[in-house]
Amino acid sequence: MGPSSLEAMEDLNSVTVGPLKRRVLERKRIREIIKTKLQRNLSCTGSKLKKTLTGFFPVVKWLPKYKVKDYIWGDLMSGIIIGIILIPQAIAYCLLAGLDPIYGLYTSFFSNIIYFFMGTSRHVSVGIFSLMSLMVGQVVDREVYLAGFDLNEDSTKNALGLNGTGKANTTLVNLKIIALNMECGKECYAISIATALTFLAGVYQVLMAILRLGFVSVYLSAPMLDGFATGASCTILTVQAKYLVGLKIPRHQGYGTVVVTWINIFKNIHKTNFCDLITSAICIIVLLAGKEIQDRYKDRLKIPLPTELVVVAVATVVSHFADLNGQFSSSISGAIPTGFIPPKVPSVELMPRVAYDAIPLAVISFAFTVSLSEMFAKKNGYTVRPNQEMIAIGFCNIIPSFFHSFTTSAALAKTMVKDSTGCQTQVSSVVSALVVLLVLLFFAPFFYALQKCVLACIIIVSLRGALRKFLDVPKQWRESKIEAIVWLVSMSSTALISVEIGLLIGVVFSMICVVVQTQNPKVSLLGQIEQTNDYEDMEEYDNLSPVPKVKIFRFQAPLFYANKDFFLKSLYKATDLEPFLEITRRRKLEKKAREKAAKKTDRVDETNGDVSVSLISQHIDFHTIILDCSCISIIDTVGVSTFKMVLKDYKEVGVNVILACCNTPVIDSLRRGSFFGAGDKDMERLSFHTIHSAVCFATHATQPVNDSSV
């Protein structure tokens, strides 16, 4: 290299690597950064206040620009259809949540209204969701059981104080453990648990948005979420199975719900209510037939078939006029009052009992909402703000918790229906809320005679899509064995242990798989593509020519403390040369050669010793190793030390080691670790921008580099 380039290396304002000159980025001091951010965030101006309000309530920005002629019919149609779908689902999913049906209607109404004001997605349908209902129901049943209520007993008084028709007396208990100033029945206590849980979940979501913790969702990989949802679907199916045959057995508390519940069902199978069994069979056949027709002729049908609503309406009429509850003891929904319950602050005393349970609820709720928002925004050509989505779903839980609602989330099935029926904006959510409001104000009492087994059928048939994931396992196994294993582990742990533990196991296992992949990455030796300056893996491609006397080694992962041993083993194996063993072998051969010479001459012949070493050195068929660092995104101090050790060890056996294709973060880490020597004086001899430039250098440099840099 010329003296001009060496002088450039010593320039304080730049770092020269070959013909390129690194820019020096001026980094602000931490104090200045904090001061600037505080000034920007704490200052208050008219324009900033307006921007904050429009950011917090996006409806203020898009509603004045609403194109009535273009959007109104699509929003009306999709809103009415979603409202019709919501009514039976809202009533049915309360079975999962262990609550009265009225609370599902409240949840569907308030969540749609709040998301209209605060959401940034035009298509997402936020409301009651089977997975959230299951997780809420597990907490509710546990706390109701611990409070001393009999889970087998049907209350004769609901949260409104209305008398039911059951024969059992209302169980009242003085809730001393939470220091309430009132006595509360089972249903009252259940909704108190649900609202406290929902309030905390919403608070967690808003805090995550404020603290910019949305990155947590990146650890919820798609295979893990799919496996988790499928495992939860198995749990939901199991929990609802007892209603299909009319068995009155309590929900199992603790781990292994799926296994224990099925054992209890078969133990009590002789108590099957044949009225419920026949009703369930008919409803499932009709619902499945409707779904299949919908799937087969979805291109011809302009709107989805309201199969659930038809089944609910017909089943309610039949149950009422045939008096199935009185004649055959079939379980029914019971009284569903009209109107709204006065708002109530969620119980602060109950919150410590459910604080930990709210964490997985908050994470899963915002993960599904944000992912669905981004998915449909990309599909329809607009953008959403994930942080605002977290705030929106957080307040969709916080505010409704004052109005006797439970945890909500975006739902894939209803969102797809909105998208396919012409939805343009969240005006459709207001229309859906108005449909639910009609039921709340006028039609709710008509569902009194609706059998619970019908609601269970609606829930189970809605799981059809998630349960079909089992059919995709062979295909997923062929595409990626690791992702298939993640799916299986997440699904199995969720179904066989518990939903919360399954989520934790799924996240941890998927992260372990990532770590294992970085610990055991693919390594390869490269050869030159004929008549080009490009190089590729000789195991993967034909017609590649190895560079004479040069080994080009590629390591396809970051280099850090966890995989540095694998890096060394792979390098030694690929080059078929481990320096330490080679040095030991040479020393033994030199010793034997000297001993043999000493027997002949009674002295050590230095010349013969040199000749022996020379002959031994010819065992190595290459003089340079080029480390292709193009796939090494980061390197820690242990990795830098590993590079320095490799450089030193191979130099001792007469082999040069040089680097190629290092990115700037790796170069900076190597410079900080003094890999290039004092003042980076050896940078131009040890680091090259391309593999070909390194090869050209290596073919003209057959002597080991100076060891001063190590």
Task: Give residues with Cβ within 8 angstroms of 707, minimum separation 6.
Answer: 648, 651
Backbone angles phi, psi at 267, to 5 degrees: -65, -30
Measure the CA–CA gap between 225 and 231, rounded to whole angstroms. 10
Q: What is the pLDDT of residue 602?
A: 59
Which percentage of the chain shows pLDDT scores above 90?
Answer: 28
Least trusted range by pLDDT, from 178-182, 245-249, 481-485, 564-568:
178-182
Q: What is the pLDDT of residue 147?
A: 81
| 25-60 per-residue burial string, b: 16 or more CB within 10 A, e: under 16 | eeeeeeeeeeeeeeeeeeeeeeeeeeeeeeeeebbe
In this model, does residue 136 exceed pLDDT 90?
yes
Residue 256 token pair: 């292994």
Helical packing angle, 222-244 and 358-380, nearest 10°: 110
Give, in degrees to the nearest 5, the angle at Cα 697 between 691 and 698: 85
pLDDT classification of 159: cutoffs 50, 70, 90: very low
Strand ranges (E), 280-412: 409-410
500-511 pLDDT, tens digit each:
888 889 989 998
In this model, does residue 384 exceed pLDDT 60?
yes
Q: What is the pLDDT of residue 183?
A: 54
Least trusted range by pLDDT, from 10-19, 89-98, 192-201, 693-702:
10-19
Tokens 């039976």 appear where? 88
Where is mean pLDDT largest: 14-23, 131-140, 601-610?
A: 131-140
Report whether 694 contacts 628 (CB < 8 A). Answer: no
Q: How many C-beta atoms lie closer than 10 Å to residue 442's C-beta?
A: 11
Backbone angles phi, psi at 559, to 5 degrees: -110, 115
Chain mean pLDDT for the chain: 82
Measure the CA–CA gap between 132 and 229, rounded to whole angstroms. 11
Helix locations, 497-578, DSSP H? 499-519, 564-575
Q: 3-state class of 211 per DSSP?
A: coil
CATH 3.30.750.24 range(s) for the chain read 523-594+620-701
Q: 3-state class of 188 per DSSP?
A: helix
Please tell me what DSSP assigns to residue 336.
-
Q: How many C-beta atoms lie closer than 10 Å to residue 189's C-beta?
A: 27
546-600 pLDDT, tens digit each:
888 899 999 998 998 888 999 999 999 988 888 888 888 888 888 888 877 777 6
Query: Exposed/middle/buried for 314, CB within 10 Å: 0-12, 13-18, 19+?
Result: middle
Least trusted range by pLDDT, from 52-61, 65-74, 203-212, 675-684:
675-684
Report whether 249 contacts 240 (CB < 8 A). Answer: no
Mean pLDDT score, 390-397: 93
352 or 170, higher pLDDT? 352
Measure the CA–CA gap between 707 and 648, rounded to whole angstroms. 7
Mean pLDDT score, 105-118: 94
Task: Give residues with Cβ within 8 angstroms of 379, minimum separation 6.
Answer: 419
Measure the CA–CA gap between 676 and 707, rounded to whole angstroms. 10
Report whether 447 contacts 312 (CB < 8 A). Answer: yes
397-435 pLDDT, tens digit each:
999 999 999 999 988 888 888 888 888 899 999 999 999
Residue 216 token pair: 């947590």
Q: What is the pLDDT of residue 488?
A: 94
Written as one string, the DSSP assignment of 388-425 is HHHHHHHHHHHTGGGGT----EE-HHHHHHHHHTT--S
Please tell me what DSSP assigns to residue 659.
E
Helix locations, 463-559, DSSP H? 464-467, 473-479, 481-496, 499-519
Query: Exposed/middle/buried for 403, CB within 10 Å: 0-12, 13-18, 19+?
Result: middle
Closest CA to 646 of 542, 571, 547: 571
CATH architecture of the domain formed by 523-594+620-701: 2-Layer Sandwich (3.30)
Q: What is the pLDDT of residue 161?
A: 41
227 or 591, higher pLDDT? 227
Residue 421 token pair: 């029926």
Closest CA to 369 of 144, 143, 217, 258: 217
Q: What is the pLDDT of residue 653?
A: 87
Measure the CA–CA gap between 477 and 485, rounded to whole angstroms. 8
Mean pLDDT score, 306-331: 89
Task: Give residues with Cβ within 8 angstroms of 452, minimum separation 6.
Answer: 95, 243, 331, 332, 333
**How many separate helices (H) and strands (E) can be counted in the chain?**
30, 13
189-221 pLDDT, tens digit each:
899 999 999 999 999 999 998 888 777 777 778
Q: What is the pLDDT of residue 404?
A: 92
47 or 624, higher pLDDT? 624
8 or 261, higher pLDDT? 261
Sign of CA dihedral 558, 560, 562, 563: positive
Least trusted range by pLDDT, from 6-20, 218-232, 381-395:
6-20
Closest CA to 228 of 509, 416, 513, 457: 509
Report whether 396 contacts 408 (CB < 8 A). Answer: yes
Query: Exposed/middle/buried for 137, CB within 10 Å: 0-12, 13-18, 19+?
Result: buried
Closest CA to 56 of 365, 395, 405: 395
Longest dimension (CA), the chain: 121
pLDDT classification of 394: cutoffs 50, 70, 90: very high
| Side-chain-facing half-sphere of 126: CA atoms under 13 Å | 39
Report whether 703 contacts 53 (CB < 8 A). Answer: no
484 or 155, higher pLDDT? 484
Written as one string, the DSSP assignment of 417-456 is HHHHTT--STHHHHHHHHHHHHIIIIIGGGGTT-BHHHHH
Tokens 């012949």 appear where? 605
Q: What is the pLDDT of residue 684?
A: 81
Q: What is the pLDDT of residue 383?
A: 87
Where is mean pLDDT largest: 10-14, 201-205, 686-690?
A: 201-205
Report whether 153 contacts 211 (CB < 8 A). Answer: no
Q: 3-state class of 660 per DSSP?
A: strand
First to last CA, the chain: 21
In this model, does residue 249 exceed pLDDT 60?
yes
Q: What is the pLDDT of residue 25?
A: 64
What distances in angstroms separate CA 361 from CA 55, 136, 190, 354, one per listed residue?
25, 8, 17, 11
Report whether 417 contacts 82 (CB < 8 A). Answer: yes
Q: What is the pLDDT of residue 432?
A: 93
Q: What is the pLDDT of residue 300?
A: 79
- Beta-strand relationship, 624-628 and 656-660: parallel
Q: How many C-beta atoms lie closer than 10 Å to residue 443's C-beta?
A: 12
| 420-438 per-residue burial string, b: 16 or more CB within 10 A, e: under 16 | bbbbbbbbbbbbbbebbbe
Report whether 235 contacts 494 (CB < 8 A). Answer: yes
Report whether 421 contacts 135 (CB < 8 A). Answer: no
In this model, does residue 85 exceed pLDDT 50?
yes
Mean pLDDT score, 299-310: 80
Q: What is the pLDDT of residue 52?
A: 79
Mean pLDDT score, 311-316: 91
Which percentage of the chain shows pLDDT scores above 70?
Answer: 86
521 or 169, higher pLDDT? 521
Measure the CA–CA gap between 125 and 436, rounded to whole angstroms. 14
The helix (run of H) or strand (run of E) holding residue 524 is strand 523-529
Q: What is the pLDDT of residue 184?
A: 67
pLDDT classification of 19: cutoffs 50, 70, 90: low
In this model, does residue 151 exceed pLDDT 70?
no
pLDDT classification of 20: cutoffs 50, 70, 90: low
Least trusted range by pLDDT, from 314-323, 522-531, 588-597:
588-597
Least trusted range by pLDDT, from 42-51, 54-63, 328-337, 473-482:
42-51
